[in-house]
Amino acid sequence: MKKNKYLMENGDEANRLEMKIDVESVTAQARWSGLKPGMRVADVGCGPGKITALLHRMVGPDGTAVGIDSSSDRIQHAMDHYGNSGISFQQRNILDPLDDLGSFDYVWIRFVLEYYRSQAFDIVSNITRIVKPGGILCLIDLDHNCLNQYGIPSRLKKVINSIMAKLGSDADFDPHMGIKLYSMLYDLDYQSIDVTMNAHHLIFGELDHVQDYDWTKKVEVAAQNCGYGFEEYEDGYDGFYAEFKSSFADPRRFIYTPVICCRGVRVA
Ligand SMILES: C[S@@+](CC[C@H](N)C(=O)[O-])C[C@H]1O[C@@H](n2cnc3c(N)ncnc32)[C@H](O)[C@@H]1O
């Protein structure tokens, strides 16, 4: 069954996605995975297009980049902010064939597969068809997404775990997508597979406004709308929200999420 609604859909999503991009780590991951000047690049699930533009800069004037996303809002944002010669954006559903886009030397997909627990392998198979023989596929996703926190109330921790479980069962979200990436490339016969891992959310001390905005949006959009009852709190969601905001702002808490970046070369 094809899913139509993106879990984090909201009017500010282009903004949320754009502000949380860490240019330095994205650049390092792209370079590590084999992105080179002159390549033709696809950024699958490109969101607001900022990373597509970054990848485009890295391939230089002889390279080109195509950003693909199903959201008309984010494609419009991408075209308005990053449209240029050598870079284009297409509104497409990555569950559908993409073969008409031609083939690419390098295909990048970051923070998209986690929204497709049951279909992630099919998506990776589908996008493999647009990777040139000898070309590179780079998959990036999180493991234990939002699940590693220390120093927050046990009730809040339990509710966050329950929300993530509900998102898994009802919305096909997978907080453990990162750990699965390597096996997908292995099963699809990619060669020269390599993996690197870093911390994505690494939160301690004073809360910075980007993490505050990002996590508050996650709570207001995904947690609030997932159908969870919040019975642990006398005043339901409002009580959960208040405890989340105060605990998250406490400089003593420690939070991290591993980000796994996995690359391989498609065999001829
Ligand atoms: C969490 S965002 C990641 C954006 C960007 N890759 C980044 O790393 O910042 C996921 C993006 O995937 C897009 N997306 C989700 N399902 C899709 C689908 N079936 N086809 C194309 N894009 C999709 C969403 O619209 C959203 O912009």
* Number of compact structural domains in the chain: 1
CATH classification of the domain holding 92: 3.40.50.150
Does 99 fall in a domain?
yes
Does 185 fall in a domain?
yes
pLDDT for residue 201 is more than 90:
no
Q: Compare 4 and 268 and report the one with higher pLDDT.
A: 268
Q: How remote is the CA of residue 49 from the centroid of ligand 1, in Å? A: 10
Does 3 fall in a domain?
no
Instruction: List Cα–Cα distances, 159 to 166, 204, 215, 233, 246, in angstroms.
Output: 10, 21, 15, 10, 15
Which amino acid residue places its CA nearest to atom 25 of ligand 1? 71
pLDDT for residue 73 is more than 70:
yes
Please give the pLDDT value at position 5. Answer: 84
The response to whether residue 111 sits with its C-beta less than 6 Å from ligand 1 reads yes
Q: Under a CB-based contact definition with an 8 Å cutoff, are residues 83 and 76 in contact?
A: no
Model pLDDT for residues 236-265, shown as the tens digit of each residue: 999 999 999 999 999 999 999 999 999 999
Q: Provide mean pLDDT across the span 31-38.
A: 98
The response to whether residue 46 sits with its C-beta less than 6 Å from ligand 1 reads yes
Model pLDDT for residues 14-32, shown as the tens digit of each residue: 999 999 999 999 999 999 9
Q: Under a CB-based contact definition with an 8 Å cutoff, are residues 267 and 147 in contact?
A: no
Does 30 fall in a domain?
yes
Q: What is the pTM of this model?
A: 0.96
Does 229 fall in a domain?
no
Does 214 fall in a domain?
no
pLDDT for residue 1 is more than 70:
no
For the CA of 74, the closest atom of ligand 1 is: 27
Mean pLDDT score of the chain, rounded to an integer?
96
For the CA of 2, the closest atom of ligand 1 is: 19
Task: List, in order, residues 6 or more apart from 206 with CB less than 8 Å away.
Answer: 251
pLDDT for residue 226 is more than 60:
yes
For the CA of 9, the closest atom of ligand 1 is: 25
Domain around 134: 13-146+173-202+257-265
Residue 2 pLDDT class (50, 70, 90 cuts) = low
Distance, CA of 258 to CA of 160 (rounded, Å): 17
Q: Under a CB-based contact definition with an 8 Å cutoff, are residues 189 and 267 in contact?
A: yes
The response to whether residue 74 sits with its C-beta less than 6 Å from ligand 1 reads yes
The response to whether residue 94 sits with its C-beta less than 6 Å from ligand 1 reads yes
Please give the pLDDT value at position 178. Answer: 98
Does 231 fall in a domain?
no
Which amino acid residue places its CA nearest to atom 15 of ligand 1? 6
Does 216 fall in a domain?
no
Please give the pLDDT value at position 3. Answer: 61
